[in-house]
């Protein structure tokens, strides 16, 4: 009984994965392939060799950051759908800072400055729905969805008109602030995009856990998410907590943008976020809004994403996209937070 209660938080995500696996089996069978063989291919191609592992680490780094950005919002009762825009702005800001720094700035100075730029860029985008909700009661779902379009369009425009390399959709290479590849220390990762930004994601997860569960602001943040009226009578300014939380969420998503910009390409490229902000919603829900859960869930979705390429020879790689979608839907119906969110939305309408 006690063991069961201990395990309860992870039962729902596990159930969701089981459902996804069954649907995946059915899909693979329709292509006339053996599910066992395809899954083995998927695992071999991702976790079976150093290159695959490196790619999984690279993808998981971005997803962990966007997942935490969503999870932090959900802890305060906010549905942050804006991680995509926050991620893009963070990456762009990192690139701009990297371009402004003089060539030859020591990495010890340049990298933290670029990271700070990314965090500030993401925070600025995250703060907007925070302010609008705190001041005018504008629903953060609407604001963050719309803001994604605005941010992405703005970045496209500014890159296309001011910053692009001729014939390309990306900025020039940054002058300083590049983050090294893991291959530099572990040659086995050679060729993969895995880089030391993973440490940034891990540090962010550690900070998030400490902030949520050990600090007064975290106590108030969770209280606002669970029972806003009670938090209010406990002397908490709910609007301030919303603003602070969305700003922090934006900063973490923004840091995720450095994985591509500082760690992989050393430039900002249009569309680099590629839906990582939206997958972050699934990452947060599968991870039950807990930093450790989010890290594990980001690995899972990174495996699925990378695995699509590995199984492409026998089944269309879109099958893995379908699988990802099934995980998301299964999570949406099994995870209690999601159900509460949906119920809460109904309640708010009444």
Partner 1 sequence: MTDSALEAIHIVKRFGSVEANRDANLSVGAGEIHAVVGENGAGKSTLMRVLAGLFVPDAGTVRVHGRNVTGWDTRRAIAAGVGMVHQHFMLVPTLTVAENLVLGQEPTRGVRLDLAAASESVNSLCARTGLRVDPSRRVDALSVGEAQRVEILKVLYRGARILILDEPTAVLSPPEVRELWTVLRTLKARGDTVVVITHKLDEVAEISDAVTVMRAGETVGCLRTQDATPAAIARMMVGRDVVLAGDLVRHGDHAPGAAVPDVARRVALEVTDLVVARPRQRPAVDGVSLVVREGEIVGIAGVEGNGQTELIEALAGLRPTEAGSVRLNGREIVAFDVRARADVGISHIPEDRQRRGLVLEYSIADNLILGLQHRFAHRGVMQRDRVRRNADRQIEAFDIRPPRPDVPARALSGGNQQKIVVAREMGRDFSVLLAAQPTRGVDVGAIEFIHARLRAARDGGRAILLVSADLVEVLALADRVAVMYEGRIVVTLPRAQASAEVLGPYMTGAQRGAKLS
Site residues, partner 1 (CB under 8 A): 214-217, 219-220, 222-223, 226-227, 229-235, 237
* Of 185, 171, 193, 1, nearest in space to 94 by CA: 171
Nearer to partner 1, 316 or 336 (CB): 336
Nearer to partner 1, 230 or 342 (CB): 230
* Of 323, 341, 222, nearest in space to 285 by CA: 341
304: which 2 tokens? Answer: 């699925």
Q: Are 192 and 54 in contact (CB under 8 A)?
A: yes
**What DSSP state is assigned to residue 266?**
S
* Of 68, 80, 82, 78, nearest in space to 149 by CA: 82
Nearer to partner 1, 164 or 222 (CB): 222
What is the Cα–Cα distance from 105 to 217, expressed in whole angstroms? 36
Backbone angle region of 106, left / alpha / beta, with phi > 0 → left and psi within -120 to 50 → alpha: beta
Is 15 exposed, middle or buried (CB count within 10 Å of its CB: 0-12, 13-18, 19+)? middle
What is the Cα–Cα distance from 342 to 81, expressed in whole angstroms? 14
Nearer to partner 1, 207 or 278 (CB): 207
Cβ of residue 85: shortest distance to partner 1, in angstroms?
Answer: 30
Cβ of residue 2: shortest distance to partner 1, in angstroms?
Answer: 13
Cβ of residue 347: shortest distance to partner 1, in angstroms?
Answer: 12
Nearer to partner 1, 162 or 346 (CB): 346
Cβ of residue 231: shortest distance to partner 1, in angstroms?
Answer: 7
Mapped onto helix, strand or coil, the DSSP state of residue 164 is: coil
Cβ of residue 232: shortest distance to partner 1, in angstroms?
Answer: 6
Cβ of residue 8: shortest distance to partner 1, in angstroms?
Answer: 12
Spell out the residues 6+ positions from residue 188 whose beta carbon is closer than 8 angstroms to its own: 50
Q: What are phi and psi of 170, to 5 degrees?
A: -130, 165
Nearer to partner 1, 105 or 217 (CB): 217
Nearer to partner 1, 191 or 234 (CB): 234
Cβ of residue 234: shortest distance to partner 1, in angstroms?
Answer: 4
């Amino acid at each position: 009984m006690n063991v069961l209660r201990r395990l309860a938080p992870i039962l729902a995500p596990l159930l969701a994965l089981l459902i996804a696996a069954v649907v995946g089996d059915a899909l693979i069978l329709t292509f006339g392939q053996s599910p066992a063989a395809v899954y083995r291919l998927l695992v071999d191609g991702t976790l079976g060799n150093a290159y695959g592992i490196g790619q999984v680490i690279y993808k998981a780094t971005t997803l962990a950051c966007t997942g935490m950005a969503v999870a932090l919002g959900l802890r305060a009762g906010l549905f942050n759908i804006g991680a995509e825009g926050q991620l893009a702005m963070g990456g762009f800001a990192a690139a701009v800072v990297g371009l402004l720094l003089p060539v030859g700035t020591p990495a010890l100075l340049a990298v933290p400055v670029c990271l700070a730029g990314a965090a500030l860029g993401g925070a600025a985008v995250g703060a907007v729905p925070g302010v609008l909700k705190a001041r005018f009661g504008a629903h953060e779902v609407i604001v963050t969805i719309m803001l994604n379009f605005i941010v992405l369009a703005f970045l496209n425009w500014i890159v296309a008109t001011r910053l692009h390399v001729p014939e390309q959709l990306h900025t020039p290479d940054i002058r300083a602030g590049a983050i090294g590849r893991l291959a530099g220390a572990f040659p086995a990762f050679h060729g993969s995009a895995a880089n030391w930004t993973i440490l940034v994601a891990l540090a962010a997860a550690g900070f998030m856990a400490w902030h949520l569960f050990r600090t007064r602001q975290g106590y108030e943040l969770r209280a606002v998410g669970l029972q806003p009226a009670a938090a209010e009578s406990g002397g908490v300014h709910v609007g301030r907590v919303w603003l602070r939380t969305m700003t922090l969420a934006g900063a973490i998503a923004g840091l995720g943008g450095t994985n591509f910009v500082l760690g992989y390409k050393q430039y900002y490229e249009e569309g680099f976020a590629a839906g990582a902000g939206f997958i972050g919603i699934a990452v947060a829900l599968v991870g039950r809004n807990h930093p450790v859960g989010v890290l594990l869930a980001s690995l899972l979705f990174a495996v699925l994403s990378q695995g699509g390429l590995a199984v492409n020879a026998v089944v269309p790689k879109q099958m893995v996209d379908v699988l990802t979608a099934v995980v998301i839907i299964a999570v949406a119906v099994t995870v209690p937070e999601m159900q509460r969110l949906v119920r809460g939305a109904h309640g708010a309408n009444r």
